[in-house]
Amino acid sequence: MEFLVASAIATLVAGGIYLALRARTFQVVLGLTLLSYAVNLFLFAVGRLVVDRPPLWSKDVTHHADPLPQALVLTAIVITFGMTALTVILSLRSFLESGSDQVDGRAGRDGDEAA
């Protein structure tokens, strides 16, 4: 189970880094989103993956899952949604201003390259 989670985290990080280094803004946004998913999965895995245990303490159960990583992941999901929305709006504004979806914004409105 741990190997599967570690492989998923590594795949998300590799894909996120690859997409974040691309030249187009939509791919950069997707790359940053994949990186945030990898961080969320890592935070969730830090809480020790246990099966058939209640998330909160109970009188008849001696062992329980740690609820702190779950709360951190829920908070990170909300923050990621807000930051992704902000990034999409900024990239859309950049596209409308420059006429190009290149990250460096070199291409002009008529397709000619700026020096």
| 2-50+65-98: CATH topology | Helix Hairpins (1.10.287)
CB 9 within 8 A of CB 42: yes
3-state helix, strand, coil split of the chain in percent (to 5) is 65, 5, 30
The pLDDT tens digits of the residues spanning 87-103 come to: 999 989 988 988 888 88
Checking 15-23 for CB contacts under 8 A at 24+ apart, the result is 22/103, 23/102, 23/103, 23/104
Domain boundaries, the chain: 2-50+65-98
C-alpha dihedral sign at 78, 81, 82, 84: positive
Instruction: Please identify every stretch of the chain with a pLDDT value under 70, giving residue numbers as ranges.
Output: 49-50, 55-58, 60-61, 105, 107-115
pLDDT at 1: 76
